[in-house]
Amino acid sequence: MMRPILLLLFAATAVSLSGQNLLTGEKIWDSDQVRVVDTGREPGQKAFSLAIPAQTVMTRPIPVDCTKRYRLSGYLKSASAEKPSTSCFGLAMQDARGLNIMQSNVNVVAGSDTALAADAAKGDEKIIVKDASNWEKRRSIRTLAVFNIKPDYTDLPNFALTGLIDRVRKSAEGDTYEITLKAPLNKAYPTGTPVRQHLYGALLNCCAAYSRTPGEWTKYTAEIGGLAPSGAPADRFWAGTKTVRILIMSDAGRTGAELLFSDIVFEEIKE
What predicted TM-score, i.e. pTM, was given to this entire model? 0.89
Alpha carbons 215 and 151: distance in angstroms, whole number = 49
- HEC profile for 178-214? EEEECCCCCCCECCCCEEEEEECCCCEEEEEEEEECC
What's the CATH fold of domain 7-102+203-269? Answer: Jelly Rolls (2.60.120)
Alpha carbons 261 and 267: distance in angstroms, whole number = 17
Q: What's the confidence (pLDDT) of residue 29?
A: 86
Q: What's the confidence (pLDDT) of residue 9?
A: 52
CB 213 within 8 A of CB 86: yes
CB 184 within 8 A of CB 162: no
Alpha carbons 205 and 66: distance in angstroms, whole number = 18
Q: What's the confidence (pLDDT) of residue 32?
A: 87
Of 69, 195, 186, residue with least CA distance to 128: 195
Peptide bond into 61 cis (omega under 30): no
Alpha carbons 34 and 221: distance in angstroms, whole number = 21
Handedness of CA 235, 236, 238, 243 (dihedral sign): positive
- Quick one: DSSP state of residue 52? S
Q: What's the confidence (pLDDT) of residue 5?
A: 37
From first to last of the 271 residues of the chain, give the pLDDT tens digit: 444 334 445 543 333 333 232 223 357 888 888 999 998 998 888 899 998 889 999 998 999 999 999 999 999 999 999 999 999 999 999 999 999 999 999 999 999 999 999 999 999 999 999 999 999 999 999 999 999 999 999 999 999 999 999 999 999 888 999 999 999 999 999 999 999 999 999 999 999 999 999 999 999 999 999 999 999 999 999 999 999 999 999 988 888 899 999 988 888 888 7
Q: What's the confidence (pLDDT) of residue 12?
A: 39
Of 119, 58, 107, residue with least CA distance to 246: 58
Of 238, 271, 268, 255, residue with least CA distance to 17: 268
- What does the domain layout of the chain look like in residue ranges? 7-102+203-269, 108-199
Q: What's the confidence (pLDDT) of residue 26?
A: 55
